Chains A and B, each alone.
Chain A
Amino acid sequence: MFTTKAFIKKNKVGNYLKHVREHYIRDDISCGLQECETCLPVESFLSPDHENKCSLFTSNHYLILDTNVVLDQMDILEESVIGNVIILHTVLNEVKHRSLPIYKRLCAVIENPSRHFYVFINDHHQGTYLQQNEGELINDYNDRCIRAACSWYINHAPKQKFVFLTDDSANRIKAQKEDIPSYTVSEYVQNLNTSGLTDKLSRKDFHGNDFTKDVFPNHLSNVELLTGIREGKLLQGTFRASRDNFLEGFVNVDSYEEPVIVQGRAGLNRSVDGDTVAVELLKEEEWVCPSEIILEDEGVGDESVDDVVTKENELQKATKKKSGAKPTGRVVGIIRRKWRQYCGILQGGIDGVYQMFVPADKSIPKIKIETRQAEFLRTQKLIVTIDSWPKHSRYPHGHFVRALGNIGDQTTENEVILLEHDVPHSQFSEEVLNCLPKMPWIITDDDVKKRVDLRHLDICSVDPPGCTDIDDALHCRPLADGKLEVGVHIADVSHFIRPGTPLDREAASRATTVYLVNNRIDMVPALLSSNLCSLRGGEERFAFSCIWEMDQNANILSTRFHKSIIKSRKAMTYEEAQLIIDDKTKQDALAEALRSLNKLAKIMKQRRLVNGALVLASPEVKIQMDSETMEPLDVEVKKLFETNSMIEEFMLQANISVAEKILEEFPDCAMLRRHPVPPATNFDPLVKAGRHLGFEIRVDSGKNLAKSLDEAVNTKNPYLNTMFRILATRCMLQAVYFVSGTYQKEEYFHYGLAVPLYTHFTSPIRRYADIIVHRLLAVICGADSTYPDLLDKNKTTELCQNLNYRNRMAQYAGRASIAFNTHGNYKMRKVTCCMSVKTPCKFLYHDMAWNVPYLWPKKAKRPIFLNTMKRTRHKKPEVWLFTLLTPL
């Protein structure tokens, strides 16, 4: 059967065009019921064995859902008590159209066989297809289609029971008239014999009585917003809430250089961090400057707003200055919500079913939820999602999704960090583990034939202590006529991870190994990461080698790449390697090699710095853990040896050499890494700080920046320079992966390293980008063949986007973990700090970007980093004494 769909659409230029599409109606679409004998048998997860236990019905039944149920009550649908659900194609399409995240969650449920979901393609089925009537709204048409499908099922399988769930009362009444048993979700869920499920119901119907006073002004309607934006009366931007002040936020508007400040209840008007909002600018005389005070929401869940009013007044006083006022506005409407699921805890001291949820992320407001298990939940970290924020309610309304575990447990806190940063951290599935090589793994003659045998070379690896995923090793030996042969050997992960396998897909989705303080979330299973790929000392391993011939001045004379077999003589730590280099009595081949490498590295580093590479400080913090309880004991800044920079230099050089090679052979599908030049305005805070302290920081080029940073030294205050460098780090943009064909050649530049081409090659165990680069390089060496996705520019671009996102999140997660543990380190002991003699200091800060814990006493002009202080314990156990090593 055949029909056409015709519709009229407006094109970009503004012309109205008529589109006609074919629409085939089929007779071979199955109903999916196992008991059905008339339909063609088809793979369906619907099962007569599953029973929906609802006390409204005496017998088992199948569920058919309306679109609004899927959109609003996804948390309920993810519960395994609900099964045997028929999802109509109309519903699926509408969900996809309305909300992609929900659609993805729905697909995950549909694909899970144990959930017994089935997709019925009603819009191509000859019995359920309906023609859209003239003038009929698309929503009404969809509702009609859904009801028609319900009726069809009831007639098709008269022995079975079908229940239609919808929260749309008009649709429900119509359905009941057509003799379709239909209920609302809350009616249905309340009669399920499972406790705790009602907490998860999303509530849109909080209607206060008519006398409740509005707490917030009205939002404008969509049409008003759109016309306002088009006419330039309103500005569109992303709302960012302040972390320190719950009554303040900023809206980043494209056309404005500086963000627009919004303040107070009326100013914020129910926007939540991340939302796309419309703001109206106030008159210039009403503009304020950003507040510097800290305000916390101390509300306890009732709807009174008296405490907020006092705080608003306080805020107004604090920000009403004539000088330094910035553009200020107020939010008049929300264009798009960016609500997600939030981790956090319940606020204590509230009785009743309505509880206050305090998100871990300070920029998110407290959320009001309804629960009957508050006692238990108070001990737990939970996940909550926002459902609505009506104007008469002081807080957004949400519902409980699930509990993560006891508050304060290391595992729970890690889980929170991983969830908040969207890090995939489930166990590797059976399917993935099946892709691993079978143990015991041995090197066959065939392998030896395909690779260059480098087992005779004195290769060694240098890594941080406790490192089990060693992905790089080095060697250096003198050649005739004074030249040197330097080799970088990288674990050959692409030998084990073949393209297209489940293992490969999993690694691509994880993109990177995530390092938390006391945990590591591997990108590939441990068998590979810590054993077969890890270049451990004294074991024969497969490697991908990049070998240079260099002269004594570290000039590269030739480069070659090949797959090899190596046997590392020793896996050393930075400290061990440093000791060997410094110990003049050691004269063996390994020591000599290390010394030559170190010498070359120094020359290379110098050359790089002259070219304008930046040295930016980010003192990495190391946290000592108690090995039994996994409680953090102490924080120290990581020590750096010469050998750290030695390894770094050779890795950089290897990456650069590989980048040149793969770009030459694959001009439009090589995976490279670029670091864009930051816009000049990014440097404003740095320049300002410099000028304030009497230094001219020049930011017109990377080279000048590096130079002026070097010059900004105050002999009295050695930390000043570090602070400048930390500040400079914050001005930078993120370095990103990209595909060579998608950018102009000039844009390949890596600003931080000051090299025209760069990629990642040296850590395939913990980064997926390196695996792709390995595969490209293997094709060039003739060691492997290409596969379709490797050469597909669009596919690789998609992959890059995922890699960039995951990398950023992994970085944030790592920092959050350090922050939690350093915080925990002091906070759990209720620190009252005593500065030098008698300066009490309440605030212990931990700035994520600076990566160092620091104190900022109220009277001090600048923060004091913990590494400049000696910490001793006071006789009272909860008090720490800090003695300054450098004067204030």
Chain B
Amino acid sequence: MSKNRELLSKIGLRQDGRRADELRRIRCKLGVFTEPDGSAYLEQGLTKVLAAVYGPHQVRGSRSKAQHDSAVVNCQFSMAVFSTGERKKRPRGDRKSTEISIHLRQALTAAIKVELYPWTQIDVYVEVLHADGGIYPACVNAATLALIDAGIPLKEYVCACTASLANNDVPLLDVSHQEEIIGGPTLTVAALPMSGKIVLMEMSQRFHVDHLQKVLDKALQGCKDIKSILDEAVKSHIQDVGSSTGWASTT
């Protein structure tokens, strides 16, 4: 089946009608919950993710984890039982979610100004409601928004994006689940798009080093595009919040 399907048709459209360098539709909302200190909901295509941030607060559990010069970032990733086509019980702490949790922490620690909050802990909970490819990038993007909503100082946005390679030649941006199945190597990049620093990079398959640069460039471009979308959302959210409290009218 995968043989008859091509990632990118001769006419230049992908299976779902996007062009090679187009992101999926991103919709997001900040402050979706009242209980946590910050929360966000993000849709990237059909991938839907909720993120909640608690903290900074006192280190819970064993006190020995606390660090004298920075905050501890604790991430927990989970997928809802109904998030994939097949209903499956997903115990917390299985290999896949532990791995994604660790990767999340790595990306977020790079963006948060952890040195401002010694002896504290910041909890980030991410739940996938619907998985349709590119789970990790969606989680990172949602977590960024949730951190902003929580008012935690960041160096800058941290955004993630995937890229793949079609027909061994053309880089594809933001890979969907269907495209992941068809095949092709997927490169996941989390970056600080304004300074251009890469904080995490992962590959699902090997591909030739000649292709790496163009795929990476494409993924970084994707991160920048996502950043501007998130930025827009943050601005409008602040405007909403501001106008409801009344200080927007002063401008």
The answer to whether A18 has its CB under 8 Å from any CB of chain B is: yes
The residues of B that contact A97 with a CB separation of less than 8 Å are: 4
The residues of B that contact A4 with a CB separation of less than 8 Å are: 46
Tell whether A26 pairs with B17 under 8 Å between CB atoms, given A2-B25, A792-B208: yes
- Verify A119–B208 contact, CB threshold 8 A: no
The answer to whether A137 has its CB under 8 Å from any CB of chain B is: no
The residues of A that contact B13 with a CB separation of less than 8 Å are: 121, 124
The residues of A that contact B86 with a CB separation of less than 8 Å are: 11, 15, 17
User: B210 contacts which of A18, A23, A89, A787 (Cβ < 8 Å)?
Assistant: A787
Interface size on B, residues (CB 8 A): 22
- Verify B208–A786 contact, CB threshold 8 A: yes
A569 to B5, CA, bound (A): 54
The answer to whether B96 has its CB under 8 Å from any CB of chain A is: no
The residues of B that contact A789 with a CB separation of less than 8 Å are: 168
Residue of B whose beta carbon sits closest to that of A25: B17
The answer to whether A694 has its CB under 8 Å from any CB of chain B is: no
- Verify A100–B4 contact, CB threshold 8 A: yes
A89 to B12, CA, bound (A): 12
The residues of A that contact B211 with a CB separation of less than 8 Å are: 788
A123 to B15, CA, bound (A): 11
- Verify A22–B24 contact, CB threshold 8 A: yes
- Verify B176–A22 contact, CB threshold 8 A: yes
- Verify A24–B208 contact, CB threshold 8 A: no
The answer to whether B33 has its CB under 8 Å from any CB of chain A is: no
User: B16 contacts which of A23, A100, A791 (Cβ < 8 Å)?
Assistant: A23
Number of A-B contacts (CB under 8 A): 58
A301 to B183, CA, bound (A): 52
The answer to whether B10 has its CB under 8 Å from any CB of chain A is: yes
The residues of A that contact B24 with a CB separation of less than 8 Å are: 22
- Verify A788–B18 contact, CB threshold 8 A: no
Q: What 0/1 readout, one digit per residue, does chain A (606-642) give for beta carbons within 8 Å of chain B?
A: 0000000000000000000000000000000000000
The answer to whether A21 has its CB under 8 Å from any CB of chain B is: yes
Tell whether A96 pairs with B208 under 8 Å between CB atoms, given A21-B178, A26-B17: no
The residues of B that contact A18 with a CB separation of less than 8 Å are: 85
- Verify A788–B46 contact, CB threshold 8 A: no
- Verify A795–B16 contact, CB threshold 8 A: no
A203 to B188, CA, bound (A): 54
The answer to whether A223 has its CB under 8 Å from any CB of chain B is: no
Tell whether A96 pairs with B85 under 8 Å between CB atoms, given A20-B46, A107-B10: no
The residues of A that contact B178 with a CB separation of less than 8 Å are: 21
Residues facing A in B200-221 (CB within 8 A) are 207-208, 210-211
- Verify B10–A124 contact, CB threshold 8 A: no
A15 to B17, CA, bound (A): 29
The residues of A that contact B15 with a CB separation of less than 8 Å are: 21
Residue of A whose beta carbon sits closest to that of B165: A788
Residue of A whose beta carbon sits closest to that of B86: A17
Tell whether A19 pairs with B85 under 8 Å between CB atoms, given A24-B18, A787-B208: yes
Residue of A whose beta carbon sits closest to that of B206: A791
**Min distance, Cβ B234 to any Cβ of chain A, angstroms:** 23
- Verify B4–A788 contact, CB threshold 8 A: no
**Min distance, Cβ B16 to any Cβ of chain A, angstroms:** 4
The residues of A that contact B85 with a CB separation of less than 8 Å are: 17-19
Residue of A whose beta carbon sits closest to that of B25: A2
User: B45 contacts which of A17, A22, A123 (Cβ < 8 Å)?
Assistant: A22
The residues of B that contact A119 with a CB separation of less than 8 Å are: 10-11
A20 to B207, CA, bound (A): 30
User: B207 contacts which of A111, A121, A788 (Cβ < 8 Å)?
Assistant: A788
Q: What 0/1 readout, one digit per residue, does chain B (79-94) give for beta carbons within 8 Å of chain A?
A: 0000001100000000
Query: Which of A2, A25, A787, A789 has its CB near the most chain B CB atoms (within 10 A)?
Result: A2
**Min distance, Cβ B132 to any Cβ of chain A, angstroms:** 7
**Min distance, Cβ A478 to any Cβ of chain B, angstroms:** 45
The residues of B that contact A111 with a CB separation of less than 8 Å are: 10
A873 to B33, CA, bound (A): 104
Residue of B whose beta carbon sits closest to that of A120: B11
A21 to B11, CA, bound (A): 20
Q: What 0/1 readout, one digit per residue, does chain B (5-27) give for beta carbons within 8 Å of chain A?
A: 00000110101111000001100
**Min distance, Cβ B145 to any Cβ of chain A, angstroms:** 21
A96 to B210, CA, bound (A): 32
- Verify B46–A23 contact, CB threshold 8 A: no
- Verify B132–A20 contact, CB threshold 8 A: yes
Residues facing B in A67-100 (CB within 8 A) are 89, 96-97, 100
- 19 other A-B residue contacts (CB within 8 Å) besides A97-B4, A107-B10: A15-B86, A17-B85, A20-B46, A21-B16, A22-B16, A22-B17, A22-B24, A26-B17, A96-B4, A100-B4, A121-B13, A124-B17, A786-B208, A788-B207, A788-B208, A788-B210, A788-B211, A791-B208, A795-B168
Q: What are 13 A-B residue pairs whose CB atoms fall within 8 Å in the complex?
A: A2-B25, A4-B46, A15-B86, A17-B86, A21-B16, A22-B176, A24-B16, A89-B11, A96-B4, A119-B11, A121-B11, A788-B210, A795-B168
State the B residues within 8 Å of A (CB): 4, 10-11, 13, 15-18, 24-25, 45-46, 85-86, 132, 168, 176, 178, 207-208, 210-211
Shortest beta-carbon contacts, A-B, top 6: A788-B208, A24-B17, A124-B17, A17-B85, A22-B16, A22-B45
